[in-house]
């Protein structure tokens, strides 16, 4: 089995678990592809344990049977970007905070090679948003959300939203979030948007600090074509795609559509989204 490994470089408290994981990969005869930033970070403290690493690369010109993301949800998003749309399933190991997309805690890392070889992990497919606009970030796809927001110096922006070619609304707010079902527990949740079961084929449109109480979050089909055109007193607004942001002139149209590929997410047998919500949000805890 060939395994691609991506991880956050803020792992000082988890190096023993990562070292045991890398040793186990070597013991079980796995071939490893690793991102260079992680390799450079680990090389200084566990060079002898990196014997399974056969290739180090920051571009998606490789093949793998599975990818392992070591970090939090932000690391998981960067892992998907590193894979570049390849049909490689990702399993997340949580060394961050909430970790909605991660399947296992760091204590389970050493047993992961055996779990992967067992073939018992469950696969979910998650849709992405493709962004069409000038001067986009290198990877114009969002697994979590796309956000248009005011520049720091601006007081407000007005974002005209067209849904399938028809005027939906002029949102007067600090910004507007378009989240996937996967991203409903991220920025969308923090502004009062609904939590969506991640396999549901919808987007959530949520204003940020709307200037009218009637401007509420809206759930639409992810088959929709959505066009956003921000206007403001300032000359620029900010476009963010899963946290990667660029500054664009006001009046620039941003078109959103469902990407023509999906991300495969691996889960341990018996896990569920309901269980994740109970554990992460402490529902039902006295």
Residue-wise DSSP of 11-55: -GGGHHHHHHHHHHHHHTT-EEEE-HHHHHHHHHHHGGGGTTEEE
Burial (CB < 10 A; 0-12, 13-18, 19+), residue 97, is exposed
Tokens standing for residue 196: 């969506």
CA distance 21 to 231: 50
The verdict on whether 73 is a catalytic residue reads yes
Active-site position among 12, 58, 61, 73: 73
Show Cβ contacts of residue 255 under 8 Å, excluding neighbours closer than 6 positions. Answer: 131, 132, 133, 225, 226, 227, 228
CA distance 271 to 94: 15
Is residue 259 within 8 Å of 171, Cβ to Cβ? Answer: no
Helix axes 15-27, 36-46, angle to 10 degrees: 100
User: N- to C-terminal Cα distance for the chain?
Assistant: 44
Backbone dihedral region for residue 116 (phi beyond 0: left; psi -120 to 50: alpha; all else: beta): alpha
Q: How far is CA 195 from CA 140, 142, 181, 218, in A?
A: 24, 17, 8, 12
Tokens 């923090």: give the residue: 190
Show Cβ contacts of residue 126 under 8 Å, excluding neighbours closer than 6 positions. Answer: 143, 180, 181, 182, 198, 199, 262, 263, 264, 265
Q: Residue 230 is inside which H or E element, if any?
A: strand 226-232
Q: Which residues are annotated as catalytic?
A: 73
């Amino acid at each position: 089995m060939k395994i691609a490994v991506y991880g956050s470089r803020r792992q000082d408290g988890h190096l023993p678990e990562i070292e045991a994981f890398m040793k186990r990969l070597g013991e079980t005869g796995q071939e490893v592809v690793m991102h260079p930033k992680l390799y450079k970070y680990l090389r200084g403290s566990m060079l002898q344990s990196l014997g399974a690493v056969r290739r180090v690369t920051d571009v998606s010109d490789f093949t793998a049977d599975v990818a392992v993301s070591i970090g939090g949800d932000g690391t998981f998003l960067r892992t998907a970007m590193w894979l570049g749309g390849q049909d490689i399933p990702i399993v997340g190991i949580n060394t961050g905070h909430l970790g909605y997309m991660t399947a296992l805690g760091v204590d389970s890392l050493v047993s992961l090679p055996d779990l992967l070889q067992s073939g018992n992990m469950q696969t979910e497919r998650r849709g992405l948003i493709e962004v069409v606009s000038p001067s986009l970030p290198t990877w114009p796809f969002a697994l979590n959300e796309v956000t248009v927001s005011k520049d720091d110096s601006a007081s407000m922006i007005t974002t005209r939203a067209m849904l399938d070619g028809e005027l939906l609304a002029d949102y007067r707010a600090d910004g507007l979030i378009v989240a996937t079902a996967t991203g409903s527990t991220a920025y969308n949740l923090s502004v009062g948007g609904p939590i969506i079961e991640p396999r549901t084929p919808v987007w959530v449109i949520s204003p940020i600090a709307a200037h009218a109480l009637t401007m509420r979050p809206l759930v639409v089909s992810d088959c929709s074509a959505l066009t956003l055109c921000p206007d403001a007193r300032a000359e620029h607004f900010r476009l963010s795609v899963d946290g990667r942001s660029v500054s664009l002139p006001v009046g620039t149209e941003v078109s959103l559509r469902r990407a023509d590929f999906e991300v495969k997410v691996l889960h341990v047998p018996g896990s569920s989204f309901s269980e994740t919500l109970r554990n992460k949000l402490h529902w039902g805890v006295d």
